[in-house]
Amino acid sequence: MSEADEVARVAAGLPPYAVSLGIGVERIEAGAPLLTLDFAEKVHGRPGFLHGGAIGGLLEMAAIAALRMALAERGAVPRLKPVNMTVEFLRGGTDRRTYALGRVTRAGRRIANVSAEAWQDDPARPIATAWMNVLLSGA
Amino acid sequence: MSDPLPAFPPAPGAPFDPAAVSSLMNGRGHGGFVGLRYLAHGDDWIEVALPWRADLVGVPETGVLASGPIITLLDNATSMSVWVRSGAFRPQATLDLRLDYVRAAIPGKTVIARAECYRLTRSAAFVRGLAHDGDPADPVAHAAGVFMAMETA
């Protein structure tokens, strides 16, 4: 599958929440979809800054998208149930585009451990990181 | 002429009235987008509601809400519990927030968060919260987090 096809496939699979929040798919990077979220009133938290909930939602979508892609490569399409998630907020997100990329630390038979990072100008200066455990069922 | 609305955000140290401030806080920005609504509060706790909405769904086949809005609900509710406990507004930033997704919320039902600040220091506030969709004994999610007070000039 070409990268453009892969990007279109990931975008088509985003849930209603991701679409209404304004999450987009930029490209495939390091084997995972690079997601974007543009600054808008609907993601605004304290004055001038991104809301932590919007950052958390973006990180979760990036983690799940990375996991789906990794599982698809091994021919598995289980249902994914998030078990838990921790978000660490490192810097305030300001009024510009935010990027997020997930990384599968380990995908076992029943549980996957996935992390994600979000940044704005510089990937080396993340604004937030997250990890989550996801239950894989019906695989 | 109606009374002027209270300023938002309140000035640091201003008395915090969650019932008055919630409509301002949740009528705009990301809280407004997901539709958060103030329900009730006590000395150190607050309840905030997240009504179900089709465009907040994470699993189209079942209508189950995405976990992003649940993060927002618990982030807002735990954040406000700090000001409820202290009785005054203090600018703060979320340091970390952990969520356990105990079960999927029932499609169509309003999710209610009850959050409390159980320890408040000069620099940090420790919070926890539960989200349920009708029965607090059968929660949807559990949260624990820490907020850091912003240094004010």
Residues ≥6 apart with Cβ < 8 Å to B88: B13, B14, B15, B16
Write out pLDDT tens, residues A75-91: 888 899 999 999 999 99
- d(C-alpha B22, C-alpha B128), whole Å: 19
Domain with residue B53: its CATH number is: 3.10.129.10
Q: CB-based contacts of A117: which residues, under 8 Å, 6+ apart?
A: A59, A100, A101, A103, A123, A126, A128, A129, A130
pLDDT tens column, B98-129: 999 999 999 999 999 999 999 999 999 999 99
CATH of the domain at A102: 3.10.129.10
* pLDDT at A99 > cutoff 90: yes
Residue B2 maps to a domain? no
Q: How many helices (H) and strands (E) does chain B have?
A: 3, 8
Q: Which contiguous run of DSSP H or E holds residue A94?
A: none
The answer to whether residue B93 is domain-embedded is yes
The residue-averaged pLDDT of A100-127 equals 97
Q: Residue A16 is nearest to which of B9, B60, B96, comparing CB atoms? A: B60
pLDDT in tens, A102-115: 999 999 999 999 99
Q: Return the structure tokens found at A92.
A: 């305030």
Kind plus residue range of the DSSP H or E element containing A114:
strand A111-119
The count of structural domains within chain A is: 1
Contact A66, A112 (CB under 8 A): no
Q: Identify the H or E element spanning A12.
A: helix A3-12
Distance, CA of B66 to chain centre: 16
Q: Give the model's pLDDT for residue B2.
A: 42
For residue A82, the cross-strand partners are A134
CA distance A52 to chain B (A): 7
Closest CA to A80 of A131, A32, A135: A135
CA B123 to chain centre: 20
Residue B118: inside a domain:
yes
Give chain B's contact residues with A (Cβ, < 8 Å). Answer: 9, 28-34, 54-60, 65-69, 71-73, 75-76, 91, 93-101, 104
Whole-complex ipTM:
0.93
Highest mean pLDDT among A95-99, B2-6, B91-95 belongs to A95-99
Residue B1 included in any domain: no
A-B contacts at Cβ under 8 angstroms: 119
Residue ranges of E strands in chain B: 37-41, 45-50, 57-59, 64-65, 92-101, 111-120, 124-132, 141-149
Number of domains in chain B: 1
pLDDT tens digit sequence for B61-75: 899 999 999 999 999
Closest CA to A86 of B101, B14, B45, B120: B101
Distances in Å between the Cα of B22 and the Cα atoms of A1, A7, B49, B69 are 48, 39, 11, 17
Question: Quick one: pLDDT at residue A47?
Answer: 87
Any domain includes B133? yes
Distance from CA of B17 to the nearest CA of A (A): 17
pLDDT of residue A138 exceeding 80, the answer is: no
Contact assignment for A17 to B57 by CB distance below 8 Å: yes
Domain of B67 in residue numbering reads as 18-149
Domain of A12?
A: 3-137
